[in-house]
Structure 1
Amino acid sequence: MNKPAKSLLPKGAKAQQVYLSLHDQIKDGRLRDGNNLSSEQKLAAEFKVSRVTIRRALDALEGAGLVERRAGSGTTVKAAGHEATPVAMNLATLMPQLVEMGQTTTARLLSFSYDTAPEFVAAALRIPPQEQVQIATRIRSANDVPFSYLTTYVPATIARNYSENDLATTPLFRLLERSGVQISEAHQSVSATLAGPQVAEALGVAVGSALLSLRRVVRDVTGQGVEYLSGLYRPDMFRLEMPLTRVGDGQGRHWEPAIGKADEGTL
């Protein structure tokens, strides 16, 4: 498993820009394990910044475990420990993939409690503002590499049907069905955010790293919300996919999701 990264983004906007640029080049394979970076002087000229700025960015990369710096031999990329096959999910076939994901990945339960539903959760689930919900946070991993930090909210009337131990060993999707919930649909939205200290440590990334932010509301056949998911995903370990089909005629020709057609290799 990746060592949790405790390093912060470097101070200064220019140093952060350099850091993020080199970080992305390492993560997407443009800079490979063992590659030597250009000298500080050349990097400073390339990015049009001072050598002090370059040094701050390289220090942060080293703190994140992405490069190794040695006096007299320069800076070398250390990407081998970060290479892993991303978990892929096809948005057009969401529900079956949720079941399979629970079977092909592992989860570690970080917290489990009951409390009043936050206002945004109550609104999304269409439940009274003061209703109790079960709140659980889990880390999900593939091949011992963490890829998601998940917080779920489930109405207490449903969640009382399973235990903390059940949630630690069984996918939530299965537990909902076992509780008599007939799941009908889900609505999912995706945006981006930055990793805070707690999430960064759990996912083994640097504080301030870019993450995919996913919000999902699952409903039963009556339209009632049965689960609210707030998920944070490492973009190097998780991707969302959707096959598209070209439809229509003339000026109205456009792209539409190819519902029900999963790309080969997705979960």
Structure 2
Amino acid sequence: MNVAAYSVVEPCAPTRLDPASPVPLYQQLLVQLQNRIDSGEFGPGTVLPGEFDLSRDYGVSRITAKRALDELAEAGLVKRERGRGTRVLERAGASAVRTSIDGWLENISMMQATTEVRLLSFEYLNAGPDIASALELDDGAEVQRSVRVRTLDGVPMSYLVCFLPADVGRAFDAAALASTAMLTLLEQAGHPVASARQTVSATLAAPDTAQALEVNAGAPLLEVRRIARSADDRAVQYIRALYRPDLYHIEMSMTRKAGSDGPLWAAEEGTS
């Protein structure tokens, strides 16, 4: 055995798991270990803590620790060998979509050209308070709701839940949405998107979302909420998009500039 090819990492203070969570403990542990691998804390060649150490550090049974390690191995992230432990494997860099904060319409057009979309559901329903507020409608107003999954090189990268006012949505049907980009359909319906406001945050994958994105329940996701407006300033689309952070990156270039209160960081125009 070439000892120089291996390294053993002493476990840092782990985040305690939540027994009250609907996400099983082995999946919570699996997500934490995967995050530590993705962050580089456990690099290629590193031998992970064993079942006994994980069960002690995270307060779970050895069966739970074993299942988490076994699933990491099934996912191709580690290799388990008797007498040699669980070793992190080298991984080829995955393709990823990179987008910027500005140039949103151009970014969406680029994504439509490089990815494929699958329609999971399409329906009309009465809007709850949050959706009605986002679309500036009365509570209970009818809206179109669609759920789509966008894939990159055959791998699911985003889970898109979209709401439109009913009169806007009825300009097209499910078959059109399954084959044509939403922005194109809105334009054809006489509601071309002229502006949008979005927020970016982080969330955890619920079981149904995790299944659609082929990740573990409780895995971290990038969440984008966006309200798009037409040229007459009408809110015509509200979308909640959940992205796999390994396949979707938001980038921003910044410049340090002098300000009245000292140097400030400002986004460069045309960030990409």
Measured against the shorter chain, the TM-score band is 0.7 to 0.9
Choose the corresponding residue for 1:10, options 20, 25, 34: 25
AA paired with 2:119? L
Choose the corresponding residue for 2:33, options 18, 22, 26: 22
Relative distance call for 1:112 and 1:79 in structure 2 (3 A) is: farther
- 1:210-238 per-residue CA deviation (whole Å, 9 max, x = no partner) reads 11111100011222111000111111111
AA paired with 2:215? V
What is the DSSP-based 3-state SS (H/G/I as helix, E as strand, rest coil) of the residue aligned with 2:47?
coil
Q: When the two structures are superposed, what TM-score results if normalisation uses the length of structure 1?
A: 0.81
Where do residues 151-230 of structure 1 align in structure 2 (5 Å cutoff)? 151-230=161-240
Answering whether residue 64 of structure 2 is matched by residue 56 of structure 1, we say yes
Deviation at 1:53, TM superposition (A): 5.8
Q: When the two structures are superposed, what TM-score results if normalisation uses the length of structure 2?
A: 0.79
Where do residues 113-132 of structure 1 align in structure 2 (5 Å cutoff)? 113-132=123-142
What is the DSSP-based 3-state SS (H/G/I as helix, E as strand, rest coil) of the residue aligned with 2:120?
strand
1:102/1:170 contact within 8 Å kept: no
1:26/1:79 contact within 8 Å kept: no
2:221/2:244 contact within 8 Å kept: yes
AA paired with 1:10? L
AA paired with 1:213? E
Relative distance call for 1:96 and 1:181 in structure 2 (3 A) is: same
Measured in 1, the distance between the counterparts of 2:198 and 2:238 equals 10
1:256 corresponds to:
266
Structure 1: state its 5+ residue gaps: 1-7
Relative distance call for 1:51 and 1:104 in structure 2 (3 A) is: same
Structure 2: state its 5+ residue gaps: 1-22
AA paired with 1:141? T
Measured in 1, the distance between the counterparts of 2:90 and 2:215 equals 13
Deviation at 1:198, TM superposition (A): 0.7
1:109/1:138 contact within 8 Å kept: yes
- Higher normalized contact order (CA 8 Å, seq sep 6+, divided by chain length): 1
Measured in 1, the distance between the counterparts of 2:203 and 2:118 equals 22
- 1:86-139 per-residue CA deviation (whole Å, 9 max, x = no partner) reads 211101111111112111110011000011122111101112222211100001
Deviation at 1:56, TM superposition (A): 3.3
Deviation at 1:258, TM superposition (A): 2.1
Deviation at 1:28, TM superposition (A): 4.1
1:247 corresponds to:
257
1:4 corresponds to:
none
Q: Percent identity?
A: 33
Relative distance call for 1:95 and 1:69 in structure 2 (3 A) is: same
RMSD of aligned C-alpha atoms?
Answer: 2.8
Deviation at 1:10, TM superposition (A): 2.5
Answering whether residue 53 of structure 2 is matched by residue 44 of structure 1, we say yes
Relative distance call for 1:244 and 1:252 in structure 2 (3 A) is: same
Measured in 2, the distance between the counterparts of 1:127 and 1:226 equals 10
1:3 corresponds to:
none
1:92/1:243 contact within 8 Å kept: no
2:50/2:86 contact within 8 Å kept: no
What is the DSSP-based 3-state SS (H/G/I as helix, E as strand, rest coil) of the residue aligned with 2:218?
coil
- 1:75-96 per-residue CA deviation (whole Å, 9 max, x = no partner) reads 2335648x51221110111111
Relative distance call for 1:156 and 1:38 in structure 2 (3 A) is: closer
Measured in 1, the distance between the counterparts of 2:69 and 2:183 equals 38
